[in-house]
Structure 1
Amino acid sequence: MSHPRLRVLVVDDERPALDELRYLLERDERVGEVFATDSTTESLRILREDEIDVAFLDIQMPGLTGLELAQVLSRFKSPPQIVFVTAHEGHAVEAFEVHAVDYVLKPVRADRLAEAVRRVVAGTDRTPAPADPQIAVERGGVTRFLNRSDITHVEAHGDYARLHTADGSHLVRIPLATLEEEWADAGFVRIHRSLLVSLAHVREVRMEAGRCAVVVGEPPVELGVSRRHTRELRELLLQNRTRRP
């Protein structure tokens, strides 16, 4: 199946790198018009005025970083796909947390860039997102991917969150409030100012001396529920059970 040629934006504050990336992309037959700028401010103007399919972003730039720009773009009604192009390996986990399609290291090879374009084209098929998305986590310098359905509960750690599964826990650089909003439709609810719980993993609800707690996971873990969230949680659990076949 043929695809319309991609409209591409390239953002890099280093002019030689910007020119090289633009040159390589313009040689790709899958790419149509290429916009290029060394200014994040100018990039936002282009994105508002033109329909862009994919943005190739450097990460370390003055003003808005590439990661911060990607977060802004995620709020657009029809956000472009994101590919990061950087000399630094250390931001890979953060890149995938903002749903980047690819992460290309400098100096950019033509064959590696072609693979990134292939991934972008595959994403324009608009196939439905998987029902069980994966979350990139890092431990000991190794990046792995968790199925969201395996996460029993989430604990706040300042601007970070700790994801708990039966196999252990993993710290990710995402605030609890963000996960609460993004994962609400997947059955994650707040039970305390510092805790989200997956309704699918709740095995028991315990009431003792007016205090509520839930038991999740295997081996079982008991989590306290604050008074303000107790009634809402019990109602949600009842709804969740009645919807199951």
Structure 2
Amino acid sequence: MTATRLNVLVVNGHEVMSELIGLLRQEPRVGRVDFAVNASHALRVSQDALRSQRQVHAWFHALEPSRPNTLRLALTARCLGTPPRVVVVTGRYADAFTALELHAADYLITPLTQRRLAATIDRLGR
């Protein structure tokens, strides 16, 4: 993945996600940035991308504390040929630890910074 620009999908409509989309578009190692309203929609968008010979490398998933099953659904994207790596975006450290226990690739704690996003992109590119 390091030679290829990452195609990413931002999942969930939280306010912070529009900020994340802006930061991702500034990151030179990121190619296409798409949006999905929830994890089910993200699966459909990722499947459509595969049919178009394009891979979604990572999902940036806003964790909704009131709906913890959305993260489980995101992490079951293994039905895709090469499943995307999931990065959880949250304002709570406890949610970040839960995400890692469920095998998320990484997490971002709000408020978001370009520096922290760059470190996450580094990890995704390995």
Superposition TM-score tier, normalisation by shorter sequence:
0.7 to 0.9
What percent identity do the matched residue pairs reach?
A: 31
* Secondary structure of the corresponding residue to residue 56 of structure 1: strand
Give 1:118's aligned residue: 122
8 A Cα contact 1:25 1:31, kept in partner = yes
How much does 1:61 deviate?
A: 6.7
Q: Give the root-mean-square deviation of aligned CA atoms.
A: 2.0
How much does 1:64 deviate?
A: 6.9
Q: Map residues 24-43 of structure 1 onto 2, 5 A cutoff.
A: 24-43=23-42
What is the distance in 1 between the residues matched to 2:64 and 2:58?
19
Give 1:23's aligned residue: 22
Q: Map residues 92-131 of structure 1 onto 2, 5 A cutoff.
A: 92-122=96-126
How much does 1:59 deviate?
A: 1.2
The answer to which structure has the higher strand fraction is: 1
2:56 to 18, 37, 52: 52
* Secondary structure of the corresponding residue to residue 107 of structure 2: strand
Matched, 1:10 2:10: yes
How much does 1:73 deviate?
A: 1.1
What is the distance in 1 between the residues matched to 2:89 and 2:111?
9
Which amino acid is 1:12 matched to?
A: N
Give 1:218's aligned residue: none
Look at both structures and tell me which one has the larger radius of gyration over its CA atoms.
1
Change in CA separation of 1:70 and 1:20 when aligned onto 2, cut-off 3 Å:
same
Q: How many matched pairs?
A: 120
**Structure ranking higher on relative contact order (CA contacts 8 Å, 6+ apart):** 2
Q: Deviations over 1:215-245 (max 9, x none)?
A: xxxxxxxxxxxxxxxxxxxxxxxxxxxxxxx
Which segments of 5 or more consecutive residues in structure 2 lack a partner in the other structure? 50-54
* Secondary structure of the corresponding residue to residue 7 of structure 1: strand
Q: Deviations over 1:164-213 (max 9, x none)?
A: xxxxxxxxxxxxxxxxxxxxxxxxxxxxxxxxxxxxxxxxxxxxxxxxxx
What is the distance in 2 between the residues matched to 1:40 and 1:120?
20
Give 2:52's aligned residue: none
Which amino acid is 1:33 matched to?
A: R
